[in-house]
Amino acid sequence: MSLNRPLLVFADDWGRHPSSCQHLVNHLLPERETLWVNTIGTRTPRLDLATLRRASGKLLEWVQPRRVDPGATAFHCPEGLRVTSPKMWPWFSRSHDRWLNRKLLTRHLVPLINEMEEPPTAITTLPIVADLMPLLPVRSWVYYCVDDFSRWPGLDQKSMARMEREVIDRADRIVAVSRKLQDRIAGFGRESDLLTHGVDYDFWKHPEGVPSSWLAGKLSAGNAARLTGRLVVFWGVIDPRMDTGFVVELSRSLGTSATIVLAGPQQDADPGLFRLPNVAKTGPLPFADLPKLAALADVLVMPYVDAPVTRAMQPLKLAEYLATGKPAVVRDLPANREWSHALDLASSAEGFAEAVKMRLRDGIDPKQVVARERLRLEGWEAKAKELHEWLEVIPNRPMLRSTSEIVLEI
């Protein structure tokens, strides 16, 4: 039996954006054969443009399965990776919704798993696999807990919470990205390992000579005229986790001296954000473009609300911000406090705006530069090695039924 057993991974679409799970798996390849399952996601479908675009993309994947696009992320097309996009029903709230998805996913995945050299270790970042855990012919299940889905905006929170509790109960090992998530899991009677996010330190080194015209070309229609003065930049998903009050106060305080650039996809974002005279948006940017954006920024900001969902998360962009070498002003939240000597924390809108203006005036504090040196020890390669060691000591779970019995059922 191999010491690098194969993996079956349920997560966000490979190549859509570089999540922590993609970073980790990228460093486990090619030694670990990996079957990556693109899922339909966890958001409740609605009749809006974003949902229609996402649905059309999924339909295209189902009709014409795509190969991994090496230009879609900062990653190359990895050896040892196979990506599959099974057909799914986009609801999970009712028992027959879950029954249908169990049928669709099991029918699609069992033959693919049987093609692997040996039963894989299954890793999931999503609660929607709850009904698959007793069925799939895998060696063991790992729940890689990256968020509190029971609090996440835009999700069917009750259904996600119910399925996540089942995943927590059934998992052979649980890995959490923050201490808050560990505490939540402990409340369900389970222990978990802590694996905080890493960073590709060299990737975030400043590109030289990025012209301001580059950013002007990336801005949404009608936003180029707003690009004046210094640049205060946020990148990531723009959704209800962003504190509108913080952005409004920052906009008022900066006036015409700076432009606030919001770079990333919008999901139920407050439309009032984009009516502010000195706020410009880009829409989604390729991951490979973010170091260029950082090179043009004077200050990087993270104006999240103080809420259960943000208190539980460990923002992937936190380490990315720090690796750029640029000043960073962020909301005072548990995960951010662990880097309090390397950035500026603010708990009020006024304090946030004052900290941004101070960094625009003074630049980064030399003590913060020194504090960021420990980032060099927080690389994704080291995080993947730690995960690899945990995966190797998970005991095999007994197969409740043979593969042939599962095939007969589906």
List, for residues 350-390, the tens digit of each pLDDT value. 999 999 999 999 999 999 999 999 999 999 999 999 999 99
Does residue 282 carry a pLDDT above 50?
A: yes
Least confident of 15-24, 45-54, 339-348, 393-402: 45-54
- The domains spanning 7-198+380-409 and 202-373 adopt the same CATH topology: yes
Instruction: Give the model confidence (pLDDT) of 232-270 as tens digits.
Output: 999 999 999 999 999 999 999 999 999 999 999 998 899
Predicted local distance difference test score (pLDDT) of residue 91: 65
Least confident of 27-31, 39-43, 72-76, 262-266: 72-76
* Confidence category of residue 44, pLDDT binned at 50, 70, 90: low
Taken in order 103, 107, 112, 116, the sign of the CA dihedral is positive
Q: State residue 320 phi and psi, 5-degree precision.
A: -65, -45
| 328 closest CA partner among 306, 351, 360 | 360
Q: Compute the distance between CA of residue 85 and CA of residue 40 in angstroms, rounded to an integer.
A: 8
Instruction: Report DSSP letters for 222-245, one per residue.
Output: T-GGG--SEEEEEES-BSTTB-HH
Does residue 93 carry a pLDDT above 80?
A: no
Angle at 170 between CA 194 and CA 384, to 5 degrees: 35
Fold classification of 7-198+380-409 (topology level): Rossmann fold (3.40.50)
pTM of the model: 0.85
Does residue 65 carry a pLDDT above 70?
A: no
Q: Are 185 and 192 in contact (CB under 8 A)?
A: yes
Q: Give the whole-number percent of the chain exceeding pLDDT 70.
A: 85
The stretch 279-287 carries a mean pLDDT of 94
Domain parsing of the chain, residue ranges: 7-198+380-409, 202-373
The 3-state DSSP class for residue 130 equals helix
Predicted local distance difference test score (pLDDT) of residue 393: 85
The dihedral region occupied by 190, where left means phi > 0, alpha psi between -120 and 50, and beta the remainder, is: beta
Instruction: Give the model confidence (pLDDT) of 298-319 as tens digits.
Output: 999 999 999 998 998 889 999 9
Instruction: Give the model confidence (pLDDT) of 317-329 as tens digits.
Output: 999 999 999 999 9
Q: Compute the distance between CA of residue 140 and CA of residue 173 in angstroms, rounded to an integer.
A: 8
Q: Give the architecture-level CATH label for domain 202-373.
A: 3-Layer(aba) Sandwich (3.40)
The stretch 198-212 carries a mean pLDDT of 89
Average pLDDT, the chain: 87
Q: Are 131 and 164 in contact (CB under 8 A)?
A: no
- Token pair 């924390």 in the structure block, residue: 345
* Confidence category of residue 71, pLDDT binned at 50, 70, 90: very low
β 328-331/299-302 pair status: parallel
Instruction: Give the model confidence (pLDDT) of 125-164 as tens digits.
Output: 999 899 999 999 999 999 999 999 888 777 677 888 898 9
Predicted local distance difference test score (pLDDT) of residue 228: 87
Q: What's the token pair of residue 45?
A: 């479908």
